[in-house]
Amino acid sequence: MNNKLYPLKFTPILKDKIWGGTKLKTLFGKDALTAKLGESWELSGIENEESVVSNGFLAGNKLSELIEIYMGDLVGDEVFDTFGHSFPLLFKLIDANENLSIQVHPGDEVAAQRHNSLGKTEMWVVLDADPGAELIIGFRKDCSQEQYVYALENEMIEELLQGVPVVPGDVFFIPAGLVHAIGKGIVVAEIQQSSDITYRIYDFKRKDDAGNERELHTEQALEVIDFNACKNPKTQYSPILNALTPLVSCEYFTTNMIQCDKALTRNYGNTDSFVVYMCTEGKFLLEAGTEKLVVVKGDTVLIPACLNEIEIIPETKTKLLEVYI
């Protein structure tokens, strides 16, 4: 039996949400019975929400079990030295059929103190957007804590915040502390630190199926919000066909876009990190030595750190996100 590591697919963890819809099923083939599918956790090491391998001889194993066995060969030596048996990133597809709550996430220090968790810095790539759809990204202008509290208490908070119209392909970097919300009619790929800590600021007086408004986290949020104006929130980039297009690079992750209509070789010999592909358009054959894997729109694949060279052979014009630490 061949027990060598290979490109890994995982069973998506599907999340019913009050604001969810059907686009993750219609656009990406996610198999869910609910009409309110809000999130597909594509790759997760969150406790009790761990991804399970779906292909090859490792099928049925949890992500943490793989890290325990393969350590640096799976995630990279430096990544393993830093995070141990924890997987440091979380990958999602999100369908906002209705507005998500306005929210903010704590950074590492506060998250560690309050929740024994990593903070939550993230990024979004817009995959689909209805005409006129908007994100909320930060404040229109510098704001004091007193102005913010007054607006919140008088249900005027939206007047302080910046609405940003979006189209497919738009990219946004959301550091911890930046107030934000995904607006109605938007589908995004989300790449984030491995944290599920969210402070909900405002939820439009929305009620759940039991008639209850969802919990707000006003006091917790006050201590972590960045009240400075958020200028030029959209990440600027120029896509290059059959080459690498850098999108975001921060201390937590690096994300590139690959668009190709012919074979492309990626060499990760000097990366010392796992690599994750999120296929957002098209279909391609992934070759790693003798291993071959068909990847289609909506698939997420983990490339172990020990695999140095990957061949991407598109069947149709293909777009994917490449992420590593």
Please write the tens of the pLDDT for every residue from 47-85: 999 999 999 999 999 999 999 999 999 999 999 999 999
pLDDT at residue number 206: 85
Q: Look up the CATH number of the domain holding residue 134.
A: 2.60.120.10
What is the average per-residue pLDDT within 202-228? 91
Shared domain check, 168 and 263: no
Asked, for residue 230, whether it belongs to a domain, the answer is no
Asked, for residue 129, whether it belongs to a domain, the answer is yes
Task: In whole angstroms, give the CA distance from residue 189 to residue 200.
Answer: 20
pLDDT at residue number 141: 97
How many helices and strands (H and E) does the chain possess? 8, 21
Shared domain check, 164 and 24: yes
CA 324 remoteness from chain centre = 13
Q: Which two tokens mark 53?
A: 């391998």
pLDDT at residue number 1: 44
What is the average per-residue pLDDT within 37-51? 97
pLDDT at 100 over 70: yes
Task: In whole angstroms, give the CA distance from residue 244 to residue 258.
Answer: 5
Catalytic residues: 200
Shared domain check, 128 and 257: no
Where does a domain end: 187, 222, 257? 222
- pLDDT bin (cut points 50, 70, 90) of residue 211 is confident
Shared domain check, 298 and 197: no
120 Cβ neighbours under 8 A, 6+ residues apart: 105, 106, 111, 176, 192, 193, 195, 197, 198
Residues of the domain holding 257: 243-324
Asked, for residue 236, whether it belongs to a domain, the answer is no
Query: How many domains does the chain contain in total?
Result: 2
Shared domain check, 294 and 152: no
Shared domain check, 48 and 108: yes
Shared domain check, 175 and 252: no
Q: What is the DSSP string of 47-84?
A: TT---BB-SSTTTT-BHHHHHHHHTHHHH-HHHHHHHT
Residue 218's SS3 state is helix
What is the average per-residue pLDDT within 196-212? 89
Shared domain check, 301 and 197: no
Q: Residue 104 — φ and ψ, nearest 5°?
A: -150, 155
Sign of CA dihedral 218, 224, 226, 232: negative
pLDDT at residue number 214: 87
Asked, for residue 237, whether it belongs to a domain, the answer is no
Asked, for residue 2, whether it belongs to a domain, the answer is no
Task: In whole angstroms, give the CA distance from residue 196 to residue 208.
Answer: 20
Shared domain check, 250 and 213: no
Asked, for residue 278, whether it belongs to a domain, the answer is yes
pLDDT at residue number 2: 59
274 Cβ neighbours under 8 A, 6+ residues apart: 74, 75, 76, 79, 302, 303, 304, 305, 324, 325
Shared domain check, 294 and 167: no
CA 220 remoteness from chain centre = 23
- Contact status, residue 135 vs residue 181, Cβ threshold 8 Å: yes
Asked, for residue 235, whether it belongs to a domain, the answer is no
This prediction's pTM:
0.96
Shared domain check, 279 and 218: no
Shared domain check, 121 and 156: yes
First and final CA of the chain: distance in angstroms?
A: 31
Query: What's the mean pLDDT when you consider all of the chain?
Result: 96
